[in-house]
A = this chain, B = another copy of it.
Amino acid sequence: MEYSSEKEFLKAYNPDEYKRLSMTTDILLFSVSDVAQENYRKTSEKAMSILLVKRKTYPYKDKWCVPGGFLKLDEELEECPKRILKEETNLTDIYMEQLYTFGGVHRDPRMRIVSTAYMALIDKNKLKDKISPNSEWFNIKYEGTKKNVVLTLTSSTDKIVIKAEKELVDRTSGRYKYNISSNSDMAFDHAEVILVGLERLRNKVEYTDIVFNLMPKAFTLGELQKVYEVILGKNLLMPAFRRIIAEKVEKTAKIQGGGRPQTILFI
């Protein structure tokens, strides 16, 4: 059939001719936690943490998943994760970036659902209001070799262990795919989503300043370094770290007890 104008065409267009699917967005909400420390004088150890939600309904009832929800038809794609974050944390103005779109045919047993994952970073201290009752923060322990990854997520009530094989997808770009070989209690393909998110976070930390989104308004250099170290999974030398970071923060005269007092910094 021929149309004389775009207007004509659109008038006659029937969207129902095509089979359609549902979309969701999932959000990796990362933060840092202080890990219990025997020595009160030392800068407390840090750990990355992620917010997970316990599913109350089928599918994957009683399993843990990343917060997410269905995209509304009249909603911009980026508005969807923002809306969910608002519901979950009662905060707006959170650092957020699109991570990756997962579109496996059977990733959801109900029907075909494609999901765009977003990654968000937050300073936990901003959470005045309680987070939703069936969600919990899990501390992340990432142990990666060239070929394998073991991810251990620990909350106050539960513990999830995920094992995956890293498969090199492309030599020139060094891109990896994660094949989950063992997974206790994560719903959907969210174990993979988390692994992809952590990889992105590690990479971005090296060439951007996104770490500051995880920090409170005031913090010490030692704390900042600890956060870098826990994300990168290696120790950094203090002088080198200071050289690089010095120009990005503002030193203040304030000090804090311990051994020698630390300088407090502002972003």
Contacts and interface: CB of A to CB of B under 8 A. Distances in A.
Contact of A105 (B3, B75, B204): B75
Interface stretch (A12-20, A43-51, A153-161, A222-230): A12-20
A55 to B, nearest CB: 11
Nearest to A248: B172
Given A101-B98, A173-B97, A10 B116 contact: no
Given A18-B22, A21-B21, A208-B172, A59 B103 contact: no
Interface stretch (A128-136, A209-217, A234-242): A209-217
A61 B6 contact: yes
A100 B97 CA distance: 11
A13 B138 CA distance: 31
Contacts of A111: 13, 15
Interface in A2-48: 3, 5-6, 8-10, 13, 15, 18-23
